[in-house]
Amino acid sequence: MDELAAAAGRDPLDFRLAHLTDPRARAVLLAAAELGGWGGGNRGLGLARYKERGAYCAVVAEVEAEHDVRVRRLAIAVDVGRVVNPDGVRNQIEGGAVQAASWTLKERVRFDRRRVTSADWESYPILRFSEVPGVDVALLGRPDEPSVGAGEAAQGPTAAAIGNGLAAALGVRVRDLPLTPDRIVAAIDA
99 confidence band (pLDDT: 50, 70, 90): very high
What pLDDT, on a 0 to 100 scale, did the predictor assign at position 123?
Answer: 86
What pLDDT, on a 0 to 100 scale, did the predictor assign at position 179?
Answer: 96
Each residue of 7-32: pLDDT tens digit?
A: 999 999 999 999 999 999 999 999 99
What class, spelled out in words, does domain 2-189 have in CATH? alpha beta
Length of the chain as a residue count: 190
- Residue 174: pLDDT above 80? yes
Each residue of 111-141: pLDDT tens digit?
A: 999 999 998 888 899 999 999 999 999 999 8
Structural domain boundaries in the chain: 2-189
One-letter amino acid for residue 172 of the chain: V
In angstroms, the Cα distances linking 57 to 98, 144, 180 are 14, 18, 26
- Closest to 29 (Cα-Cα) out of 11, 42, 43, 16: 16
What pLDDT, on a 0 to 100 scale, did the predictor assign at position 121?
Answer: 84
CB 96 within 8 A of CB 155: yes
- Mean pLDDT check: name the lowest of 39-43, 140-144, 175-179: 39-43
Each residue of 45-91: pLDDT tens digit?
A: 999 999 999 999 999 999 999 888 999 999 999 999 999 999 999 99
106 confidence band (pLDDT: 50, 70, 90): very high
Q: Strands of the chain (E only): list them.
A: 43-49, 56-65, 69-79, 134-139
CB 106 within 8 A of CB 167: no
